[in-house]
Amino acid sequence: MRILLYNPDNGVTRNFMPHLWMFLLEALTPSDHEVLLIDGNAQPMDEAGIARYVREQNIGLVGIGAMTRMIAKAYRMADAVRAAGVPVVMGGPHVTEMPDEALGRDGGTRHADAVALGEADETWPKIVEDAVHGKLKDVYAPVDEFGQEKKPTLQPYPSIPWNTINLDQFNLVPKPAYRWLKKLGGGWGTFRVIPVESGRGCPYGCEFCTVTGFFGDSIRFRTNESVVKELLLLKARARSEGGQIAVFFIDDNFAINVKRTKSLLRDIIAANAQVFWVAQISANLLRDEELLDLIAAAGGRWIFIGMESIDPTNLAGVNKGFNKPGEYAAVLERLAQRNVFAITSFIFGMDNDTPGVAERTLQQIRTWPAGLPIFGLLTPLPGTPLYTRLKDAGRLTRPKHWQEFIPFTMAHTPLKMTIPEAHAEVLDGWNRSYSPEAIAQAVQSLDHKPLGYRINILVARLFFRGIYFPQMGPWAWLKVISQNRRTIFKLVREGLGVRHDAPLRSPDSLKSQGETSQLPQLLRHEVRHR
C-alpha cells in the first residue's frame, strides 16, 4: 500500500523545520508499504491538489497530523481525501483532545475514518494493518492488554534513515543562492534544521500547556547511544551533500533531568557528534555552570526559554511559579558568556497584565544580552487546565476558536485589559524588538564579538521578524533587506577584510569558540583578523 503522511500549513508563516512525527511514523511503517511525506509548509497544497495527488499516486491511506492552529485546514484536506475515496486517519495533539470532533460524533461533519490518540508509536503499525484489510476502527488508543494507558518507552527507538530520506523540500537555502553557494564550496549548498527528540514528557504542568496532559508526567529518555548515532548520521549526510544540518532538540525541557542531560552531552562530545543545535530548557534549570559549559561544548547555540512574563503574580496564576523573573538576567548572562544565546518567549494577556505590559517587559529585555524575544497571547488550547478554568468561569469568547483560526487574536477576555488592548501589546512588542533600529542595536551590542556572531543575530532577527510580520516571497524579503540595509552594509564592509580566495567553511572546521559560527550563518567568510 502507498501511504501519504500530510501536515497542513499554518497559513501564516513557513515552518523552518519539518515535523518529526512524519519521519517517526515513516520509520515505524512495516517495510512492505511505501510512505510519501508532504509538509504543507514547504509544499503548499489545497483541497483539489490533495485529492488529485492521492488519485494520481494511487494512495491507499492518508495520515494527517496537526496542531490546534492548523486543524481547520487539516479537516478540509481530510474531507477532500475522503471524497476521493481514500480513508483518512488523524493524529496529534488536537484530535487527541477532541476525537469526537474529528469523528463527527459531536453533531458536526465526520472528517476522519480513524483517530490515533496520544503517542502513536505502537498503534501506527496496527492502524496500517487494519487499513490494508479495510477494517479501520474509529479510535486507536495506546493501551496495554489490561486497557491501561501505555506510553512508549523510547528504548528502543526506531532509527530514522536520515541518510536516505528525501529532504529536498526542507532546504532553507533559497534556490537562486543554492547553485552559487554549492559552487563556492565549503559546505553551504544546503541548510536544514532537523527535529530530534532525546526524551518526552514534562511534569511541570503549566496551566496553558498541552504537554503534561499529552505525554504524561512520566519522563522517558532514549539511550545516549541512540541519540549520538542519529547525530552522527545527520552529520555524515550534511557532509556527503556539501551542506549543513542544525538540530532542534524538540524535547519540551531538554534538561529536565540535569544528570542525564550532562551525560548525553558528554557522550556527544566524546563521539565528536557535535552539530549546531537549539533546545528548549526552562530558566530554573540553567543555574548549573557545568551544564552550561557542556551545552556550549556539545554544539548548543540557541536555547529557547519560556519566560512567559516578568510578573510573578502572572506566573503563579498559570502554575509557572518556578520561573523567577529576578534571575532571568543572570541566566542569560551565563549563556552569553559561553556564546550561547536565548530565544525568550513571552505571553501577554495574562490575568494580571495591564496596558503597558509590552513596554515594561521591553525595559527588562533591553538590559539583557541580545537574543530573540518572541511575543504571543495566552491561548486556551483544548484539553489544558487553562481551557477548563476559563470555560467554567464563562470567560471564553470563542470556545471553538480553532474552527476559525485568527492569528494573534484572543479567545477569552483578560481580566485587566480588553482583547484589542492585549493584541496592541503584542504588536508593540514585535514592533519595538524587530524595527531596523532595534535590530541594529542588537547587532551593535555584539561589537566585541567576532563578526560571525553579529551576522548570526542579524540573520536570526530577520527570520524571526517573520513570525509576526508576514514576509513570504522575494518582494517581502527585498523590503526587509532594504529596511535593514545600513546594518547589513556595515557587516559586509567589515567582512571585506575577508579573503575572497577562501571557501566558506563548515562549522566542523572551526576550531576556537570565538570563531565558531552559529545557525543561519550562510554569509560567513573567513575573517582575516587584524
CA distance 154 to 197: 10
CA distance 128 to 33: 9
Q: Interface with ligand SF4 includes 261 (CB under 6 A)? A: no
- The answer to whether the beta carbons of residues 476 and 470 sit under 8 Å apart is yes
- The answer to whether the beta carbons of residues 47 and 77 sit under 8 Å apart is yes
Q: Which x/- pattern over 41-80 shows residues binding ligand SF4 (rule: CB under 6 A)? A: ----------------------------------------
What does 19 interact with, of ligand B12, ligand SF4, none (CB < 5 to 8 A by kind)? ligand B12
Q: Interface with ligand B12 includes 132 (CB under 6 A)? A: no
Q: Interface with ligand B12 includes 250 (CB under 6 A)? A: yes
Alpha-carbon distances, residue 59 vs 26, 62, 128, 131, 299 (angstroms): 15, 7, 13, 12, 40
- The answer to whether the beta carbons of residues 417 and 349 sit under 8 Å apart is yes
Amino acid identity, residue 497? G
Q: Interface with ligand SF4 includes 212 (CB under 6 A)? A: yes
Q: Cite the beta strand spans of 49-100 per DSSP E.
A: 61-65, 88-91
What does 24 interact with, of ligand SF4, ligand B12, none (CB < 5 to 8 A by kind)? ligand B12
Q: How many CB atoms lie within 10 A of CB 272?
A: 11
- The grid coordinates listed for 262 are 550532562
CA distance 91 to 76: 15
HEC secondary structure over 446-468: CCCCCHHHHHHHHHHHHHHHCCC
What does 67 interact with, of ligand SF4, ligand B12, none (CB < 5 to 8 A by kind)? ligand B12
- Length, in residues, of the chain: 530
Choices 58-66, 349-357, 386-394, 483-491; region in contact with ligand B12 by CB under 6 A: 58-66
- The grid coordinates listed for 326 are 529576578
Q: Which x/- pattern over 185-204 shows residues binding ligand SF4 (rule: CB under 6 A)? A: -----------------x-x
Q: Interface with ligand B12 includes 352 (CB under 6 A)? A: no
- For ligand B12, the nearest residue by Cβ is 91
- DSSP assigned state of 396: B
Q: Interface with ligand SF4 includes 211 (CB under 6 A)? A: yes
- Contacts of ligand B12 in 266-305 (CB under 6 A): none
Long-range CB contact pairs, 437-444, < 8 A, 24+: 439/465, 439/484, 439/487, 440/484, 440/486, 440/487, 441/370, 442/370, 443/370, 443/487, 443/490, 443/491
Q: Interface with ligand B12 includes 209 (CB under 6 A)? A: yes
- DSSP assigned state of 325: G
Q: Applying CB under 6 A, which of residues 26, 101, 130, 197 lies at the interface with ligand B12?
A: 197
Q: Which is nearer to ligand B12, 67 or 177 (CB)?
A: 67
Q: Applying CB under 6 A, which of residues 35, 38, 61, 64 lies at the interface with ligand B12?
A: 64
Q: How many CB atoms lie within 10 A of CB 412?
A: 25
Radius of gyration of the chain from its Cα atoms, rounded to whole angstroms: 23
Q: Interface with ligand B12 includes 252 (CB under 6 A)? A: yes
Q: Applying CB under 6 A, which of residues 40, 51, 69, 162 lies at the interface with ligand B12?
A: 69
- The answer to whether the beta carbons of residues 340 and 303 sit under 8 Å apart is yes
- The answer to whether the beta carbons of residues 228 and 221 sit under 8 Å apart is no
Q: Which of 332, 301, 348, 309 is nearest to 459 (CA)?
A: 301
Half-sphere exposure of 288 (CA within 13 A, CB side): 15
What does 69 interact with, of ligand B12, ligand SF4, none (CB < 5 to 8 A by kind)? ligand B12
Q: Applying CB under 6 A, which of residues 8, 40, 60, 65 lies at the interface with ligand B12?
A: 65
Q: Interface with ligand SF4 includes 206 (CB under 6 A)? A: yes
What does 17 interact with, of ligand SF4, ligand B12, none (CB < 5 to 8 A by kind)? ligand B12
What does 50 interact with, of ligand SF4, ligand B12, none (CB < 5 to 8 A by kind)? none
Q: What is the nearest approach in angstroms of ligand B12 to the Cβ of residue 346?
A: 11
Long-range CB contact pairs, 102-107, < 8 A, 24+: 102/75, 102/78, 103/138, 103/139
Q: What is the nearest approach in angstroms of ligand SF4 to the Cβ of residue 381?
A: 11
Q: What is the nearest approach in angstroms of ligand B12 to the Cβ of residue 226?
A: 14
Q: Applying CB under 6 A, which of residues 209, 247, 294, 460 lies at the interface with ligand SF4?
A: 209
What does 282 interact with, of ligand B12, ligand SF4, none (CB < 5 to 8 A by kind)? ligand SF4
Note the Cα 397 to chain centre separation in Å. 28
| DSSP-H helix ranges across 154-257 | 175-184, 211-215, 224-240
Q: Applying CB under 6 A, which of residues 282, 344, 506, 516 lies at the interface with ligand SF4?
A: 282
Q: Interface with ligand B12 includes 94 (CB under 6 A)? A: yes
Q: Interface with ligand B12 includes 355 (CB under 6 A)? A: no
Q: How many CB atoms lie within 10 A of CB 506?
A: 18
Q: What is the nearest approach in angstroms of ligand SF4 to the Cβ of residue 145?
A: 30
Q: What is the nearest approach in angstroms of ligand B12 to the Cβ of residue 508?
A: 25
Q: Applying CB under 6 A, which of residues 242, 376, 385, 503 lies at the interface with ligand B12?
A: 376
Q: Applying CB under 6 A, which of residues 23, 53, 75, 124 lies at the interface with ligand B12?
A: 124
What does 381 interact with, of ligand B12, ligand SF4, none (CB < 5 to 8 A by kind)? ligand B12
Q: Applying CB under 6 A, which of residues 92, 306, 373, 429 lies at the interface with ligand SF4?
A: 306
Q: What is the nearest approach in angstroms of ligand SF4 to the Cβ of residue 318?
A: 9
What does 205 interact with, of ligand SF4, ligand B12, none (CB < 5 to 8 A by kind)? ligand SF4
Binding site for ligand SF4 (CB under 6 A): 202, 204-206, 209, 211-212, 252-253, 282, 306
Binding site for ligand B12 (CB under 6 A): 10, 13, 15, 17-21, 24, 63-65, 67-69, 89-94, 116, 119-121, 124, 195, 197, 209-211, 250, 252, 376, 381
